[in-house]
A and B are shown apart, each in its own frame.
Chain A
Amino acid sequence: MSSWLRPVLPWLGVSIFLSLFFLYPLARILWLGLNTAALKILDHASLLLAFHSFLFTFYQAALSTLLTLVLGLPAAFLFVRYDFQGKSLLRVLTAIPFMLPTVVVAAGFNALLGPRGWVNLGLMDLFHLQSAPVSIIGTLGVILLAHVFYNTTIVIRLVGNALSHLDPCLEQAARTLGAAPPRVLTHVTLPLLRPSILAASILVFIFDFTSFGVILLLGGPGFSTLEVEIYKQAMQIFNLPLAGLLSLIQLLCTLAFSILYSRIVSRNAVTSAPRAAGTNLRKACTFRQKFFLGGMVLLLLGLFLLPLVSLPLRSLTRLEADRGQRGQVSYGITGDYYTELFINRSDSIFYVPPFEAIGNSLGYAAVTVILSLALGFPVASALARPRRLERLLDPILMLPLGASAVTLGLGFIVTFNRPPMALVTSPLLVPLAHTLIALPFVIRSLQPALASIPDRLRQAAASLGASPRRVWFAVDWPIVARATISAAVFAFTVSLGEFGATSLVVRPEYPTMPIAIARFLSQPGGMNYGQAMAMATVLMVVCGIGILLIERLRLPGAGEF
C-alpha cells in the first residue's frame, strides 16, 4: 500500500457518506435559499411569513431559556449545596427528559394536561363539567413548559458542575469581609458562575431555537417556528423555495449561536482552579433553607415525574368513551389500546396494522446502528491517535450536529428527488438520515474509549510474549467492546426517537413509531388517543432501557456535553 493512502483510508467511508448525504444536500439548500433570496421569486406575504416565524422562533427560545434558568439555577444550588434523601434519584429524574424522543414528551404532556389527560378528565369527573377546563395544549404555555422540562438538566449539569468546583472559602472570605448573604451571591458566587451560566443559556437557547416536535405536536397549528414552517412549506404547501430560504436563515442562526458557544467555552476553560466536589454540602437547618429545599423538591418532582408517569398510566386506563359510544361507558384498567395496535382496521389511519411501525422502527434502527458503526469506528480509531489530518478533519465530523434535523430532511428531499439518485421513494432514506444524526454521537462516544487505552499496556503485553493478535484481544477488546455496545445503543436510541428529519423523508406506508404516535395524536377519538399513549409508552420503555444501558457502559468521567 502506498504511504499516503494509509492515513487516508479510515476517512474514506465517512468522507463519501458526508459529502453525498450531508454536504451536497446542504449545498443544494444553500443554493435554493440564496436563489430564492436573490431572484425575489417570493411574494410579499411569504417574506412576511418568514420574518414572523423567525421572530417567533427567537421569542419563544429566549422566553424558554429564561424560564429554564429560573428553574435550573436554584435546582443547581439544590443539588450541589444540599444533602437530602433521594437526591441522586431526583437528579436522574431531571436528566431523563433530555434523552427522551420529543414525541414521547409531547405524549406525556398530553396525557397529563391534554383535553383527554388526567387533569382535565379528573376535573370534569369531579365537578361534572361538560368540557375540558384546562386548555393549555395548543398555547405558548405548554411549549415553554415542555422546553423547560427538556433542558433544565443542561443548566443543572453545567452550572452545578461549576458550582461544585467553586472554592467554598471564597464565599466565606466575602462574609468575613462584611458581605451579607445576598451580596455574597451577587458579588462573588454569580460573577464566578457567569461563564457556566452563559454557556448553559446559549446551549439551551440553541435547543429551543431548533425545537420541532414539541412545537408541532403540543403547540398546534397556531405556532410556527422556523423548523415547523420549513416542514409545513415543504410537506403541506410544497413551496420549496420558501422552505429553502427558511432553512438558510435557520442554518445561519445555529451557526452563529454555535460559534458564540464555543468561544465562551474556550475563553473560560482555564480560569478556575479545580476543586474537590462535595466540600460544601449541608443539611437544611433554618426554616428558610427547609422551605427552599421542600419547595424545590416538590416542584421538580411535579414537573419531571408527572408527565413521565401520566403516559404509561393513561395507556392502561379507560377514562372516557371510545368512538362516540353512547350510554354506559366502562371505566377502568384496560389493555385495549395495546391490542388495538395489532389490528388492521379498514377505517384506520394507516394502510397497515399500527404495530408494523414498531417493526419498521426497529429495522431502521438496526440499519442505522450498522451504518454508523461501520462509518464511525475507523474514524474514531484514527482520532484516538490524532495526527495533522485528524485534527483538520475532526470539526467537520461534528457539522451535522449544527444543522437542524428538519433542514437535513429538506436537504434529502431537494437532492434525491430525481435521477441518478431518485431515493425519495426508497425507505432507505430514513436510516440514512438517522445515521447522519447519530454519527457524531457514535464517534464521540467511541473516541475517548479508544484513546484511553495506554500504549504501555500493549507494550507490556507484547514484552510478556503476546502476539499482536493476542495483544489486541487481551488489551483492546475489553474496552473496545464496551464502547462499541454503548455507541450502538446510542445510535439505536437516536434512531428510534428521531422525528424531525423522519417526518420529511418517511414513506407513508412505512411509518416509524414517532410518526405513528404523531398521527394518532392528530386524529380525533379516544381509541386513537389511547393507541398514541400505548405506542408512546412502548417507545419510552425501549428508550429508557437504552438510556440505562448507556449510563451503565459509560467510562467514568467521560462525556459531558
Chain B
Amino acid sequence: MLELITIHKSYEGQPLLRGISGTVAAGETVCLLGPSGSGKSTLLRIIAGLETYEQGQVCWDGMDLAPVPVHQRGFGLVFQDYALFPHLNVAENVAFGLKMQNLAGTETGLRVANILEMVNLTGFGDRRVTDLSGGEQQRVALARALAPNPRLLMFDEPLSALDRNLREQLINELRRILHQSGIPAIYVTHDQEEAFTLADRVLLLHDGSIVRSGTPEQVWSDPRSVWAAHFLDAGNVVSGIVMSNTRPFRVETPAGMFELDCGDVHSAGEKVNILVSRRGVRQAADGIVSGIVVDVIFRQDSFKVTLENGLDFYLPVAPRMGEKIYLTAPATGIKCLL
C-alpha cells in the first residue's frame, strides 16, 4: 500500500505542494484530478523518485522510500508523450524492464508476447516505434510499464495528446487492463470524464492541496467548495443567507428560497454559498425558483435552459424564449459550499 504523509514541495521559492497526504490501497485506482499547475504531475514524479521534496514521507507498506532510488522502487510510469526509446523497436521497448531484471531470453519473449496481446498489439513487435500512430505508441508505453509487473502503475496525463474518440476507446481498454492485472494505479489528469471513468477514488488537487477526495459520485454531487464546484462545473453556485436555525435550513437567495439539508451546522443570518444541481428540477406552478428564459439549447436527452438571473438547468421539455417559468429543486440537489 502506498502512503503519502504531508508532502511539501516548493519550486523557486513558490510552494507547489502544501502538505499532501493520502493512500493507494491494493488493487485500487486513484485519480489525481486538477487543473494544470496544480502540482499533480510533480506529486507523481515525487512518488516515482524523480523529484525531491522538502518535507513529508512517501511510504510503501510502512517503509519510507526516501533512500530507495528510482530504479529500485518498482513503480511503473507512463509518460505524457510516451517517452518510447526511438533506438529500440516495439518488442525491445516492452522488454526493456525485463532486461533490467536480467530475465532469461525465452521468458522475456513469452512475457512480451503476452503483454502485447493484452494491449491489442499482437504482431507489432518488430515495428519501429517512430512509425506508430499516437494511439499505438500509447499502447506500447502502457505495455512497457506493465511488463516488469510493477508494484504500482502511474499515468501522467497519458491521453492528453490524442483525439476524443481514441481517448474514449483507450480509457475503456485501460479500465479493463487495470481490473485484470489488479495493479494499484495513480492516474493524473485534468479531464474529469477520464477521472470518473477510471477512478475508484478521486483526489481533487487545487493549488498544491487536496481539496476533496472520495468516489467519483461523492466528489461530483458534493464538491464541498466553490472552487471545486466551478472546476467540475457541477451546477449553479448561488450565494445567500441562512434564515433558520434548524434543519432543513432555509436559504434565501436572489433566485429564490432553497431548502438545505446538509451535515454542517448553520445559524440564522449566516452567509453561505450553495450548489444547485442542474438536474432533478421540474417545472411547477408553485416552484420556488423563477426567472425569464433567455436561452434554450438542445442537448440530445434534454434542453439546457438559461434564465435571466444567470442560473441554468436541464429540463425535459423546452420552454418558450421570454417565458417566465417556475421550478422546484429537490433538497438532495442542494449542497452547501465552503
The residues of A with any CB-CB pair to B shorter than 8 Å are: 167, 169-170, 172-181, 183, 187-188, 191-192, 194, 271-273
Contact = CB atoms under 8 A, between A and B. Distances in A.
A183 B48 contact: no
Contact of A271 (B69, B81, B86): B86
Nearest to B156: A169
B83 A167 contact: yes
A362 B97 CA distance: 64
Given A177-B97, A180-B69, A180-B71, A170 B85 contact: yes
B281 to A, nearest CB: 47
Given A177-B76, A177-B148, A183-B100, A172 B50 contact: yes
A535 B48 CA distance: 60
A300 B289 CA distance: 77
B103 to A, nearest CB: 11
A188 B92 CA distance: 12
A176 B85 contact: no
Contacts of A188: 85
A178 B87 contact: no
A272 B83 CA distance: 12
A188 B100 CA distance: 12
**Consensus secondary structure, chain A interface:** helix
Contact of B87 (A172, A173, A176, A192): A192
Interface string B11-53: 0000000000000000000000000000000000000111000
Given A178-B74, A191-B87, A192-B86, A271 B130 contact: yes
B144 interface: yes
A35 to B, nearest CB: 49
A174 B49 CA distance: 13
Nearest to B128: A271
22 contacts: A167-B81, A170-B85, A172-B48, A172-B70, A172-B83, A173-B79, A173-B85, A173-B144, A174-B96, A174-B100, A176-B48, A176-B70, A176-B73, A176-B76, A177-B145, A179-B100, A183-B100, A187-B96, A187-B99, A192-B85, A192-B86, A273-B86
Contacts of A177: 71, 76, 96-97, 100, 144-145, 148
A353 to B, nearest CB: 62
A9 B48 CA distance: 66
A181 B69 CA distance: 10
A175 B70 contact: yes
Interface in B67-107: 69-77, 79-81, 83-87, 96-97, 99-101
A273 B161 CA distance: 16
A188 B49 CA distance: 19
A191 B93 CA distance: 14
Given A177-B97, A188-B85, A191-B87, A169 B79 contact: yes
Given A172-B48, A176-B73, 9 more contacts: A169-B81, A173-B85, A176-B75, A176-B76, A180-B69, A181-B71, A192-B85, A194-B87, A271-B86
B317 to A, nearest CB: 52
Interface of B: 48-50, 69-77, 79-81, 83-87, 96-97, 99-101, 130, 144-145, 148
B319 to A, nearest CB: 52
The listed residue with most A CB atoms (<10 A of its CB), out of B70, B101, B148, is: B70
B81 A179 contact: no
Nearest to B81: A169
Closest 8 CB pairs of A and B: A169-B83, A177-B97, A178-B100, A175-B70, A173-B83, A176-B77, A191-B87, A169-B79
Contacts of B144: 173, 177
Contacts of A194: 87
B272 to A, nearest CB: 46
A391 to B, nearest CB: 29
Nearest to B97: A177
Given A188-B85, A192-B87, A175 B50 contact: yes
Contacts of B83: 167, 169-170, 172-173
A176 B70 CA distance: 6
A192 B80 CA distance: 20
Nearest to A285: B52
B107 to A, nearest CB: 16
B87 to A, nearest CB: 5
A187 B93 CA distance: 11
B148 to A, nearest CB: 6
B100 A173 contact: no
B39 to A, nearest CB: 18
A179 B130 CA distance: 22
A528 to B, nearest CB: 56
Contacts of A183: 100
A178 B147 CA distance: 11
A533 to B, nearest CB: 49
Nearest to B100: A178
Contacts of B130: 271
A173 B76 CA distance: 9
Contacts of B77: 172-173, 176
A243 to B, nearest CB: 46
B150 to A, nearest CB: 8
Of listed B75, B86, B101, B145, residue having the most chain A CB within 10 A: B86
A192 B86 CA distance: 8
A192 B50 CA distance: 21
Contacts of A167: 81, 83
Interface centre among A175, A177, A180, A272 (most CB of B within 10 A): A177
A341 to B, nearest CB: 56
A191 B96 CA distance: 14
Given A169-B79, A169-B81, A271-B130, A176 B86 contact: no
Contacts of B74: 178
Nearest to B74: A178
A31 B144 CA distance: 61
A72 to B, nearest CB: 21
Nearest to B141: A173
Contacts of B99: 187
A186 to B, nearest CB: 11
A187 B100 CA distance: 10
A289 to B, nearest CB: 13
Contacts of B100: 174, 177-179, 183
A177 to B, nearest CB: 4
B81 A178 contact: no
Nearest to B75: A176
Contacts of A192: 85-87
Nearest to A183: B100
Contacts of B50: 172, 175-176
